[in-house]
Amino acid sequence: MDLEFTPAELAFREEVRAFFAENVPAEWLTRVRAGLRLEPQELIAYQKALAARGWGAPTWPVEYGGPGWSPAQNYIFESESARAGAPIQFHQGLELIGPIIFTYGSQELKDRYLPGIINADDWWCQGYSEPGAGSDLASLRTTAVRDGDHYVLNGQKMWTSYAQVASHMFVLARTSQEPKRQQGISLLLVDMTTPGIAIRKIETMDEKYTTNEVFLDDVRVPVGNLVGEEGRGWEYGKVLLDRERMVCSATAIHLPQVLDGVREAAAARKVRGVPLIETPAFAAQLAQLEIEAMALETMVLRLLADLASGADSGPRGSMVKLRWSDLYQRATALWIDAHGPEAAHFRALDGEGPADMPYAMQGALYSRVTSIYGGSSEIQHNIIARRALGL
């Protein structure tokens, strides 16, 4: 794997830097550094700017609207995005259902949905998890019964991010009862304005409204919105979940943003007259995280090289997801430590504390979910044990 950039790649890097300098407001940096998502309208505006430049779907093939970038160009784009404080593109459409549609969907579905994903005209949410069917997704009970030219959906989905603003949802539902739980599951694309859909907010510790329950009561979905073949949704869903873990590859490249926040906070706080960042114990913790972040970045580069060559990445997506979630949680915890005792009561500071403290706290809260979504850390360990170690 050659880690040196060619002259053409260096020129591309300058092009990317110029784009971010023009299109990324400085006020985004602290929120993005904390790992927090921007508001939907901000993400939509950012996506539209990328689409106008021809960069709306960096990992997609040219024939479906992607730029046809090499792994090195994708890496340059993501690393410069992190450097500029740009947000990670909202992935439900771009990295999850979009590739499933262009790989398994009909031409009608490709023509209908892919442009809207790239141009941010559509916002997708994921209808997978249910009460009693989270990591054990094969236990899902939502049904889709064929009725003429439609499927009729009934069931409940949980932890559905941004359902309240989504225009569409991709849903795993049981279209037949089979002896094996993984059989008889199909993947359907649902318009969120369809009668029978109800959304209920789930309150979360970070006080951000992103998570919902979705209730499906006799929701009629055209048969043409079936992705691929009936009963093969589990197969497509596993591919989609692998891609969700691969999204962490891009996220891992943004980890140095959090460490920048740690560094700045530790430099500003003094302990017995000495900047915290100069104390041996804290400096050692920070250095250890930086070393592990560099190692993770190298793992991501190898993964990108494998994907470009068409090699099977195996369980590496799970490895990256596992390492990234652990490092992100440790980094945000160290960011809080850098603020010292004031971090314990930041709400009462009324603007008198460090400007980034609320974002550090929210980032630390948000980081808890990174070891849950996309398959919990326990699930990732099991995948690695089976697929890498043969246990």
- The per-residue pLDDT of the chain, averaged, comes to 84
Report in angstroms the alpha-carbon separations of 156 from 73, 131, 189. 41, 8, 15
**Residues 345-372: pLDDT tens digits?**
554 434 444 555 555 566 565 566 666 6
The C-alpha R_g of the chain, in whole angstroms, comes to 22
**Residues 239-265: pLDDT tens digits?**
766 665 555 556 667 788 788 888 988
∠ CA 157-132-218 to the nearest 5 degrees? 35
pLDDT higher than threshold 70 for residue 296: yes
Mean pLDDT lowest among 47-61, 124-138, 320-334, 348-362:
348-362
**Residues 327-351: pLDDT tens digits?**
888 998 898 888 887 766 554 434 4
Residue ranges of domains in the chain: 7-101, 124-232, 238-387
244 is catalytic: yes
Q: Is the pTM of this model over 0.85?
A: no
User: What architecture does CATH give domain 7-101?
Assistant: Orthogonal Bundle (1.10)
User: What architecture does CATH give domain 124-232?
Assistant: Beta Barrel (2.40)
pLDDT higher than threshold 50 for residue 276: yes
CATH topology of domain 238-387: Butyryl-CoA Dehydrogenase, subunit A; domain 3 (1.20.140)
Q: Which residue among the candidates 78, 80, 230, 244 is catalytic per the annotation?
A: 244
Do residues 375 and 245 make contact, with C-beta atoms less than 8 angstroms apart? Answer: yes
**Residues 75-120: pLDDT tens digits?**
889 888 888 888 888 878 988 899 899 999 999 999 999 999 999 9
Highest mean pLDDT among 8-12, 256-260, 308-312, 358-362: 8-12
- Give the residue from 120, 118, 87, 68 showing the smallest Cα distance to 20: 87
Predicted local distance difference test score (pLDDT) of residue 46 = 95
